[in-house]
Chains A and B, each alone.
Chain A
């Protein structure tokens, strides 16, 4: 990350914290976006609570997607699991191609309104990038390294946990980052089925024709995405340095 990149992300962090701590400070900026004396700051719900719940939903969905997708990739990257590759690929592909809105519509009758349908939609939507990246990482271990590991007397299990997974870590993190960032913006849609996310602010703005609400909801989500992306990029670079593959990415 360049110094400019770090400075930019710090600025985003400071602005977000300032806004959440004291939205009133930003009222003069948002007021021009309102009409007919409507309020500039969303007050129907607690913005801090919405932000935290938004993050929690994304973290849970992405966490679950990570466990399942990396687990599947571990399975199909072993000689004994190769036959499950086409099936696994189909499953994660369906998760990706089925629009989250449609998943919400199907999930509500099954699990009811609230956070749960959103969690399901985000989970399914997040599988593919993590799975594909993990698979590339786990199967991309240099032949000489794989050969040495076996020749040295590591058991298949030790090869997976001590060699393949550590070497695949940068790529896995990159997949998780993609999923998390996509989930952050997609989670907003969850509010259409009463999930407690920042989407609530945006939807309230759309329903009442209040652009100030739409803008503050949108900016909060974008800010979260930028920060999460930054955290993962830093983690990836650290992991990549550990495996001596700094040249993998320089973004």
Chain B
């Protein structure tokens, strides 16, 4: 849990972050979203004290960050930036092992940890451990960057537009990997993005910033349904809002009793996927299959559309 209390940061007369109070819940992904220059990076970098707040307090799991030396604090917090920032003169293994080495782990332990992380990020140690960053693809470099940030098992991970430099397909894959990883490790993640789609896709919670101020902190569904200000509404984009809402919930939430023909829809699929499938087949209803294959009911176009409508 990261508690940010009345934090302000000024650069000269300009206020980059203006009296922000927000708590990023532990073990969840909080997406920090806003237009360029809204103060996201400044707020993120105050968490690991790359920037010191002009005023206000920040506590991680109840501990005020000012009670630690900055470099000690940073060794406990994973940090990933756009364009990866890998050390060009260090091998993949050397890069991933950076923080464990700083923490004084012995060599066999570092080596084992590096191998474990490389496996986790689908990088065969036999092939890639000795490679230099310039000998990797963009997607591989990005994964090494995340692996490096996680090397010492931090409970908190800060990510500043980590997928910004990736092309769309690799980006989707990287986002999925991050979600799976976060589920597995339970890391508290704060992820900065200027892309509301990414925030909706990745965030358990979304914090919207504009001109240094926090406009809204909410779950993705809440934010879609009840944007706090016209600016938040604009950021979300109203054109495909119903579909985004459907994309956030699984079919299992709106199963109706009854029977229907045709191939079943998995209960774990999103409602958006179910609607797409029904629309494409020209069906008005489909059976719903639980993960074990049993049919648990049906999902109907009417039911889906009811769920996509603005709540009153």
Task: Give complex CA distance A148, B77 in Å.
Answer: 12
B75 within 8 A of A: yes
Which B residue's beta carbon lies closest to that of A246? Answer: B134
Provide the bound-state CA to CA distance between A152 and B79, in Å. Answer: 7
**Cβ–Cβ contact B88 & A243, under 8 A:** yes
Determine whether the beta carbon of B74 is less than 8 Å from that of A151: yes
A144 B82 Cβ-Cβ under 8 A: yes
State the Cβ distance, A244 to closest chain B Cβ, in Å.
3
With A and B bound together, what is the CA distance between A154 and B48 in angstroms?
Answer: 13
Looking at the complex, which one of B88, B99, B148 makes contact with A145 (CB distance below 8 Å)?
B88
Please state if A144 and B83 are interface contacts (CB–CB under 8 Å).
yes
Which of A148, A153, A245 makes the CB contact (< 8 A) with B75?
Answer: A153
Residues in B with CB closer than 8 Å to A35 are none
Q: Which residue of A lies closest to B75 (CB)?
A: A153
A153 pairs with B99, CB closer than 8 A: yes
Among A152, A154, A163, chain B packs the most CB atoms within 10 A around the CB of A152
Residue A90 interfacial (CB < 8 Å): no
Are the C-beta atoms of B71 and A244 separated by less than 8 Å?
A: no
Q: Which residues of B contact A152 (CB under 8 A)?
A: 74-75, 79, 98-99, 102, 148
Which residues on B are within 8 Å of A, measured CB to CB?
45, 48, 50, 71-75, 79, 81-89, 98-99, 102, 132-135, 145, 148, 158
Q: Which residues of B contact A244 (CB under 8 A)?
A: 88-89, 132-135
Additional A-B contacts beyond A147-B81, A148-B81 (7; CB < 8 A): A151-B45, A152-B99, A153-B73, A154-B98, A163-B87, A243-B89, A244-B88
The 9 closest A-B pairs by CB, nearest first: A148-B85, A244-B134, A153-B75, A153-B74, A151-B79, A144-B85, A243-B89, A244-B88, A144-B83
B219 to chain A, nearest CB (A): 29
Residue on A with the closest CB to B132?
A: A244
The reply to whether B89 and A144 form a contact with Cβ atoms under 8 Å apart is no
Contact (Cβ within 8 A) A153 B102? yes
Give B303 Cβ to nearest chain A Cβ, in Å: 48
- Contacts of A243 on B, CB cut-off 8 Å? 88-89
| Residue in A144, A167, A242 with the greatest tally of chain B CB atoms within 10 Å | A144
A182 on interface, CB distance cutoff 8 Å: no
Are A153 and B72 in contact, with the CB atoms below 8 A? yes
Contact between B82 and A167 (Cβ–Cβ < 8 Å)?
no
> Is A150 within 8 A of B102, CB to CB?
no
Assembly CA distance A149 to B101 (angstroms)? 13
Measured CB to CB, the nearest residue on chain A to B84 is: A144
- Cβ-defined contact, B81 with A151, below 8 A: yes
* B102 & A154 in contact (Cβ 8 Å cutoff): yes
In the complex the two chains form, what is the Cα distance from A147 to B85 in whole Å? Answer: 7
Query: Which residues of chain A are near B71, meaning CB under 8 Å?
Result: 153-155
From known contacts A158-B102, A163-B87, A243-B88, infer whether A150 and B50 are also in contact, taking CB-CB under 8 Å.
Answer: yes
Tell me the chain A residues, 212-248 only, with Cβ under 8 Å from chain B: 242-245
Listed by A's residue number, 16 A-B pairs whose Cβ atoms lie within 8 Å are A145-B87, A145-B88, A147-B81, A149-B87, A150-B74, A151-B85, A152-B75, A152-B99, A152-B102, A153-B99, A158-B102, A166-B89, A242-B89, A243-B89, A244-B88, A244-B89
Chain B positions within 8 Å of A166 at CB level: 89
**B151 nearest in chain A by CB position:** A152
Give the shortest distance, in Å, between B2 (CB) and chain A (any CB).
16
Interchain nearest-CB distance for B52 vs A (Å): 13
A84 to chain B, nearest CB (A): 25
Min CB–CB distance A145 → chain B (angstroms): 5
A239 closest partner in B (C-beta): B89
Whole-angstrom distance between the Cβ of B175 and the nearest chain A Cβ: 21
| Bound CA–CA A167/B85 (angstroms) | 13
**Across-interface contacts of A158 in B (CB, < 8 A):** 102
A206 to B291, CA, bound (A): 98
CB-CB under 8 A from A167, the residues of chain B are 88-89
Contacts of A151 in B (CB 8 A): 45, 48, 50, 74, 79, 81, 85, 158
Question: How many Å from the CB of A155 to the closest CB on chain B?
Answer: 5
CA A3 – CA B75 in complex, angstroms? 48
CA distance A205 to B24 in the complex (A): 82
Q: Output the least CB separation between B68 and chain A (Å).
A: 10
Q: Please state if A144 and B81 are interface contacts (CB–CB under 8 Å).
A: yes
List chain A residues, Cβ under 8 A from B88.
142, 145, 167, 243-245
Across-interface contacts of B82 in A (CB, < 8 A): 144
Q: How far is the CA of A142 from the CA of B141 in the complex (A)?
A: 16
The residue of chain B having its C-beta at the shortest distance from the C-beta of A247 within the complex is B134
List of A residues within 8 angstroms of B135 by Cβ: 244
User: Which B residue's beta carbon lies closest to that of A151?
Assistant: B79
Closest chain A residue, CB of each to CB of B99: A152
Q: Nearest-CB distance from B243 to chain A (Å)?
A: 36
Residues of A within 8 A of B102 (CB): 152-154, 158
Give the distance in Å from the alpha carbon of A148 to the alpha carbon of B72 in the complex.
15
Question: Which B residues lie within 8 Å of A150 (CB)?
Answer: 50, 74
Cβ of B134: which chain A residues have Cβ within 8 Å of it?
244
Residues of A within 8 A of B79 (CB): 148, 151-152
CB neighbors of B among A96-120 (8 A): none
Residue of B nearest to A165 (CB): B89
